[in-house]
Chain A
Amino acid sequence: AQKVTQAQTEISVVEKEDVTLDCVYETRDTTYYLFWYKQPPSGELVFLIRRNSFDEQNEISGRYSWNFQKSTSSFNFTITASQVVDSAVYFCALILNTGGFKTIFGAGTRLFVKA
């Protein structure tokens, strides 16, 4: 079975705090892709990062960083020094490379950043 679990439904932080959004996935496929998207109130899903299953390098982009660990099937997302504009729903997604196209999204984590 393929599944993406975002256990944190809502997180509330004060501006400038660091926050980590958890993502745990399940798949038996050896080739797959993991994504994080941000969904602001306007509704559009904004692409943040893509990682393939063979690349476990962590990545940093400005205030954003991602920690991919195949051993624990996790792909966590950290925002450093959060800002009010970071308030949104964040989705982790798993895309498989076999058996035709299939995308599995987590239920999302709503992040509130208070000034």
Chain B
Amino acid sequence: DTGVSQNPRHKITKRGQNVTFRCDPISEHNRLYWYRQTLGQGPEFLTYFQNEAQLEKSRLLSDRFSAERPKGSFSTLEIQRTEQGDSAMYLCASSLTVNSGNTIYFGEGSWLTVV
């Protein structure tokens, strides 16, 4: 299967620790997106890349969050000094180009619990 792959699927960490999530998009997709979803809510946009360039960041992405896509393929999302409010599911998605209406395909998400 060549869908969007995320790992780890689940992460429990102590407050103050750093965590990193990885996303492998569908291979030919040049756009990659990160979203955050909390219980009972829809996904909220965090950031997106076109190839290796990070083109937009939401105000939700505080200084403790950093995302990279060094070679325009996989991406990592790092959260430093985690807080309990960071507990959520982090979704990665990819597409060709949304301007042409191409579909955005999502991974299964990475659940983060900060204790």
Which residues, 23 to 54 on B, are CB-close (under 8 Å) to A? Answer: 31, 33, 35, 40-45, 48
Return the CB mask of A8-50 against B: 1 if under 8 Å, else 0: 0000000000000000000000000101010000111111001
Task: Tell me the nearest residue of chain B to A108, going by C-beta.
Answer: B42
* Size band of the interface chain A makes with B: 20 to 34
In the complex where A50-B103, A52-B101, A95-B98 touch, is A100 in contact with B56 (Cβ < 8 A)?
A: yes
Task: Tell me the nearest residue of chain B to A51, going by C-beta.
Answer: B101
Tell whether B99 is near chain A: CB-to-CB under 8 Å: yes
Q: Chain B residues with Cβ under 8 A from A103's Cβ?
A: 33, 35, 43, 45, 104
Tell whether A88 is near chain B: CB-to-CB under 8 Å: no
In the complex where A50-B103, A101-B55, A103-B104 touch, is A43 in contact with B89 (Cβ < 8 A)?
A: yes
A50 to B99, CA, bound (A): 13
Q: Min CB distance, A80 to chain B, in Å?
A: 23
Tell whether B107 is near chain A: CB-to-CB under 8 Å: yes
Tell whether A73 is near chain B: CB-to-CB under 8 Å: no
Return the CB mask of A89-104 against B: 1 if under 8 Å, else 0: 0010101010011111
Q: Chain B residues with Cβ under 8 A from A104's Cβ?
A: 45
In the complex where A35-B104, A37-B106, A100-B55 touch, is A45 in contact with B98 (Cβ < 8 A)?
A: no
Q: Which of A44, A52, A107 contacts B109 (CB 8 A)?
A: A44
Task: Tell me the nearest residue of chain A to B106, going by C-beta.
Answer: A45
Q: Chain A residues with Cβ under 8 A from B44's Cβ?
A: 105
Task: Tell me the nearest residue of chain B to A50, going by C-beta.
Answer: B103
Contact B42 A42 (CB under 8 A): no
A103 to B56, CA, bound (A): 12
Q: Ordered nearest first, which 6 A-B pairs have the shortest CB separation?
A: A105-B42, A45-B106, A44-B108, A43-B109, A100-B56, A103-B45
Query: Can you give 8 A-B contacts (C-beta < 8 A)?
Result: A33-B98, A37-B106, A43-B108, A46-B106, A95-B104, A103-B35, A107-B41, A108-B41
